[in-house]
Amino acid sequence: MDWSQSLRLIAPEETLSIAGLILLLVAAWGGDKASRLISILAVAALVAAGAFAAPALCGGAMGPDATAFFGQIHADAFASFAKILIYISAAVALIVAPSFFERAGAMRAEYPVLIVFAALGMGIMVSAGDLMSLYIGLEMNSLAAYVLASFLRTDGRSAEAGLKYFVLGALASGILLFGMSLTYGFTGTTSFEGIHDALQGGLSHGALFGLVFMLAGLAFKISAVPFHMWTPDVYEGAPTPVTTFFATAAKVAAVCLTMRVMLVAFGGQQAAWQQIVIFLALASIVIGALGAIGQSNIKRLMAYSSINNVGFILVGLAAATPQGASAMLFYLAIYIAMSIGGFLVILMMRDEAGNPVEEISNFAGLSRTRPGLALGMLCVMFSLAGIPPFFGFWSKLLVFNAAVNAGLMPLAFIGFAASVIGAFYYLKVVKVMYFDEPADVVKGESDFWHKAMLVVACLVMSPLGYFLTKWLGSLTQTAASALFIAP
């Protein structure tokens, strides 16, 4: 193994590791007064890490040339695409945080440091080529995420969210670790390629149990039904910038990790896991849609929307083809824009005293009192619902098309029919904003950066987003093809 080559391939992780340690020292010396400076430096570190990751995506890196440390890390085009999405989401979570936390008197220097280390763990997760590196990245991300969920120490909801996330997250990690140990025991290796080769002769009962337990642990991380229980409570209780981070970066990392495990390590045993994934997809689509209908809190509604969208993303995984994997990555990219836009609007919903306005009933008549915010939320809701001509429609079309081409016509039909249920609660929010009498509760002024990023997100979600189709489709196809290189 060429150590210099390996160190070059993990340049994004090295950048974030060094930056995180330096920022930790700055936080210790400067205290909370230096929190804005640390946030700016953290964003710069994420931009630098993204710049180091981009060449692998643009150059279509894959195979042995993109493998570091005896196969522990795969710095291929797939990992680079996921990392760029993660770093963008983390940067947004850093930019929107100061104004939110300062109003609550809770902006602390540790916040950007935790975001950097969580992003570092996520980068290791999506690059993992071995069960050991998978678990190291997962735990590095999880430990930071547990603290972030309970970051508002004076808020009972935040403390509850952090406790629930920790307890259920620890349970899921234990389930995943048990599945990994079974897989190792019955294949004799922790390498994804080694597992793939060991299972070519067939899947033993022990290895099958290992697969099921690993898939259950990963399903918790992506909040797929029936492992979704934590999502509404954590989304509602966690500070909104943290919820934004969980809904975007954490979702990308968990979904991409699941893709690599299923399509690489267990890629030769599709018949064993395809039916499970189909169930997870359909259950998430239906339960996510039905659960959202009765919600009165916008953050809880977005949580169920997240569960619903995970179901659509898993339709692409059920196809188990390069086209399905490419459709999943395309969907993730658009979903990031939709989630960022949605939570930016939520952050901008404040009353005269600067308190967050999260009850949907308080959005009544928003189109007449704050037309810009209402238009932003309309773009988010229509795009999440997949209503043409908004860009969210194209992402759903791609995953259904991949399912049809893979011979999964019933799955595509049921998923398409169930998506109609989801349109109800999205349109309910639009109806409240545009047709109800004004509640005149949302009066707080919005920050410049919030407005600027919302405009960008809305442009991506709008019909103008279709101009990105060819470019983004090319990138996702390049990234997906890295998962289907023969071990």
Residues 6 or more apart whose Cβ sits within 8 Å of residue 216: 172, 175, 176, 179, 227
Q: Whole domain around residue 75: which residue ranges?
A: 3-484
Residues 6 or more apart whose Cβ sits within 8 Å of residue 9: 56, 66, 67, 68, 73, 75
Prediction pTM value: 0.94
Q: 160 vs 304, which has greater pLDDT?
A: 304
User: How far apart (Å, rounded) are the C-alpha atoms in residues 24 and 38?
Assistant: 9
Residues 6 or more apart whose Cβ sits within 8 Å of residue 305: 288, 292, 342, 384, 422, 425, 426
Task: Say how many Å lie between the first and final Cα of the chain, rounded.
Answer: 17
Query: Beta strand pairing status for 67-68 and 73-74?
Result: antiparallel
Q: Tell me how long the chain is.
A: 487
- Give the tokens for residue 114: 């935790």
Q: In the prediction, which pLDDT does 69 show?
A: 87
User: How far apart (Å, rounded) are the C-alpha atoms in residues 324 and 319?
Assistant: 6
Number of domains, the chain: 1
Is the backbone peptide bond immediately before 12 cis, with ω within 30 degrees of 0?
no
What letter would DSSP give residue 65? G
On the question of pLDDT at 106 being above 80, the answer is no
On the question of pLDDT at 487 being above 70, the answer is no
Q: Confidence band (pLDDT; 50, 70, 90) for 351?
A: confident
Q: Confidence band (pLDDT; 50, 70, 90) for 226?
A: confident
445 CB burial (10 A radius; 0-12, 13-18, 19+): exposed
On the question of pLDDT at 242 being above 70, the answer is yes
What percent of the chain clears pLDDT 70, i.e. is strictly above it?
99
Q: In the prediction, which pLDDT does 163 show?
A: 84
Residue among 107, 78, 12 nearest 480 (CA): 78
User: How far apart (Å, rounded) are the C-alpha atoms in residues 145 and 165?
Assistant: 9
On the question of pLDDT at 150 being above 60, the answer is yes
Mean pLDDT of 229-241: 87
Q: Which residue has the tokens 């689509």?
A: 285
Q: Are 399 and 329 in contact (CB under 8 A)?
A: no
Q: In the prediction, which pLDDT does 54 show?
A: 92
- How many other CB atoms are there within 10 angstroms of residue 52's CB atom? 20
Q: Mean pLDDT, the chain, as a whole number?
A: 88
On the question of pLDDT at 271 being above 60, the answer is yes
Q: In the prediction, which pLDDT does 444 show?
A: 67
Mean pLDDT of 402-430: 86
CA angle (109, 158, 440) in 5-degree steps: 100
Q: In the prediction, which pLDDT does 423 show?
A: 83
User: How far apart (Å, rounded) are the C-alpha atoms in residues 381 and 361?
Assistant: 16
Residue among 119, 95, 112 nearest 456 (CA): 95
Interval 33-61: pLDDT, tens = 888 899 999 999 999 999 999 998 888 77
Mean pLDDT of 363-392: 88
Q: In the prediction, which pLDDT does 8 show?
A: 86
Q: In the prediction, which pLDDT does 158 show?
A: 80
Helix or strand or coil: residue 112? helix
On the question of pLDDT at 1 being above 70, the answer is no
Q: In the prediction, which pLDDT does 44 show?
A: 95
Interval 3-38: pLDDT, tens = 788 888 889 999 999 999 999 999 988 888 888 899
